[in-house]
A = this chain, B = another copy of it.
Amino acid sequence: MLRKQIGGSGQQRAGLRRVNQGPARRRLAPCRVAAPVQTSSSVATFNGFVDYIHGLQKNILSTAEDLENGERKFVVDRWERDASNPNAGYGITCVLEDGKVLEKAAANISVVRGTLSAQRAVAMSSRGRSSIDPKGGQPYAAAAMSLVFHSAHPLIPTLRADVRLFQVGDEAWYGGGCDLTPNYLDVEDSQSFHRYWKDVCGKYKPGLYTELKEWCDRYFYIPARKEHRGIGGLFFDDMATAEAGCDVEAFVREVGDGILPCWLPIVARHRGQPFTEQQRQWQLLRRGRYIEFNLLYDRGIKFGLDGGRIESIMVSAPPLIAWKYNVVPQPGSPEEEMLKVLQQPREWA
């Protein structure tokens, strides 16, 4: 009845096992050679992006394992979208659990191909995509790398990020973002995070940071709570170079490349600090809001659950969550200070 656990968590889970565990340290295959960047064909763009996210995922796993001093490793789970159709796509879900810094970290790739449904085609053509037939039926391809890092330390914020490409015919649109969900407000963290992204955006287009910061604040919002989920960052959908007036592919790669650099200085600042049981309890309660947003409102999760691989979608769930009835922070407490920012986003950069 007992099976050895990968990276045994110290908690007994006899009788339970993970599937597809493989050896304790299973590495991704080496990054494929990138397609020449000078080609303008959409196939080359797509393949080039797929190569990029493979390399990005590999770098993220390596950096994250370094945070754990090599004592915790990612489980690497490759899955096929449809075993009977080798062209339907695949995913690589990578999860590290029970780390000293990373209570749960996931960095996932998915690369899928299919045929546009009429419902999605109508939605896209209504957004001005002239190459989309609103009747549907066109082939599409989509590739994404998405990441959630749930920190063990209550003073280290949760990090969420993604970069993605959607392509139909010769049209390609990028999406992505990177945002921070702290449990306690730290002005220095907030400023350094937002300044990082303001600097990245500043290289591409005036006003881009302001636009994507506001988009992020709008998107990660829980109407029933009248709270934003975190202190935001960047968020964008449907960006194409022709309309954006800047090199969106280069921008999106820079977003991907910045995911850990924007966050690691915050980790370094807090990981040695002591924390209290009260702070840990507040962290567990705040994670309740995180999953409320994911399950009630997140479009990506709703889309993914409609035929996606459930474990690769729910891997974004926090590892441990608490709900208490009607917890309201004391006036003037650090918990209340955090809530005020969630109720009314600030400018940080």
Contacts and interface: CB of A to CB of B under 8 A. Distances in A.
Interface of A: 1, 3, 11-20, 75, 77, 93, 95, 97, 104, 106, 224-225, 276-278, 281-282, 284-285, 288, 291-292, 295-296, 305, 310-311, 313-315, 317-330, 332-335
A18 B295 contact: no
A319 B330 contact: no
A233 to B, nearest CB: 24
A320 B319 contact: no
Contacts of A335: 15-16
A322 B320 contact: yes
Given A224-B305, A314-B292, A15 B97 contact: no
Contacts of A106: 325
Contacts of A314: 288, 292, 323
Contacts of A285: 16
Given A224-B310, A319-B322, A17 B296 contact: no
Given A317-B288, A320-B320, A282 B224 contact: no
B12 A277 contact: yes
B322 A278 contact: no
A48 B310 CA distance: 46
Contact of A15 (B3, B17, B18, B330): B330
The 3 closest A-B pairs by CB, nearest first: A295-B295, A317-B323, A15-B333
A53 to B, nearest CB: 20
B333 A323 contact: no
B334 A16 contact: no
Q: A3, A288, A330 — which one has the most chain B CB atoms within 10 A of its CB?
A: A330
B16 A282 contact: yes
27 contacts: A3-B330, A11-B277, A12-B276, A12-B281, A13-B281, A13-B282, A14-B278, A15-B329, A15-B333, A16-B328, A16-B330, A17-B330, A18-B325, A75-B325, A77-B325, A77-B326, A97-B324, A224-B313, A291-B295, A295-B295, A296-B305, A311-B325, A319-B322, A319-B324, A320-B322, A321-B322, A321-B323
A322 B333 CA distance: 28
Given A18-B326, A321-B323, 12 more contacts: A11-B277, A14-B278, A15-B334, A16-B324, A17-B330, A18-B324, A75-B325, A93-B325, A291-B295, A295-B295, A320-B321, A321-B322
A228 to B, nearest CB: 15
A190 B311 CA distance: 29
A326 B277 contact: no
A319 B323 CA distance: 5
A288 B295 CA distance: 11
Contacts of A16: 278, 281-282, 285, 324, 327-330, 333, 335
A19 B315 CA distance: 34
A278 B14 CA distance: 6
Contact of A328 (B19, B75, B282): B19
